[in-house]
Amino acid sequence: MKRILTAIDFSDVTDEVIHTATKLAQQFGARLRILHTELPHPVFLSYGIEVTAVQDDYAERLQQDARKLEMIQEHLAHCGVQAECSVLTGSTLLCILDQARSFAADLIVVGTHSHGTLRHLFLGSVREDLIARAPCPVLVVPRLKSVVEPAPAPEREAAEAMA
C-alpha cells in the first residue's frame, strides 16, 4: 500500500479519520492525499439578494477550509508523513472517485456520519455509494463515542477521602 486517499469534512469524526490514515501511512510508508469538498458556489439571479456578499462568504469558507488543511499538513509533516491536501468543489462522491483514480489510491479512508434515518432514506449515503463504486478498498472510520467515567459511589468516595 503506497497511496492513501482520505476525505474529510471537518466534522466530529475528522480527528479519528486523520489519526487512522496517519497511522496507516506511517506503517506502510505510504503517501497521503487529504481532500475536503464543498458544493459548487450557488448561482443567484439577483432578486434583491446581495450576490457579492454570498460570493464573499463562499470564498471565505473555501479559504478557511484551505487553512485548516494546511495545519493538518504541517502536523503530518512533523509526524514524518508526506501528505498533500486540497479543497475541491463539486459532488463529494464524484470528487472522491476522481481523486482515487487520478492518485491511483490503494485505499480510501473516510468517516461515518449519523444524519438520521429520514435524511438517509431520501438522500442516501455517500459512504455506501463510495463503497459500491470505488476503484480500491474503502476503510470507514467510526466516530468514537466520548468516554465518560461514572460518578463515584458515595461509599467509595468516602473511603478514598479517608485513605
Could you give all domains of the chain from N- to C-terminal order, each with its CATH number?
Answer: 3-144 (3.40.50.620)
Instruction: For residue 130, give the C-alpha cell.
Output: 463510495
DSSP state of 112: -
Range 131-141 average pLDDT: 95
Residue 146 in this model has a pLDDT that exceeds 60: no
| Sign (positive or negative) of CA dihedral 33, 80, 65, 132 | positive
Contact between 141 and 13 (Cβ < 8 Å): yes
| 77-106 tens-digit pLDDT | 999 999 999 999 999 999 999 999 999 999
Global confidence as pTM = 0.78
Contact between 55 and 41 (Cβ < 8 Å): yes
DSSP state of 145: P
Where do we find the cell 498533500? 84
What is the percent of the chain where pLDDT is above 70? 73
138 CB-side CA count, 13 A:
20
Strand order in the sheet with 31-38: 83-89, 31-38, 3-8, 107-111, 138-141
Residue 59 in this model has a pLDDT that exceeds 70: yes
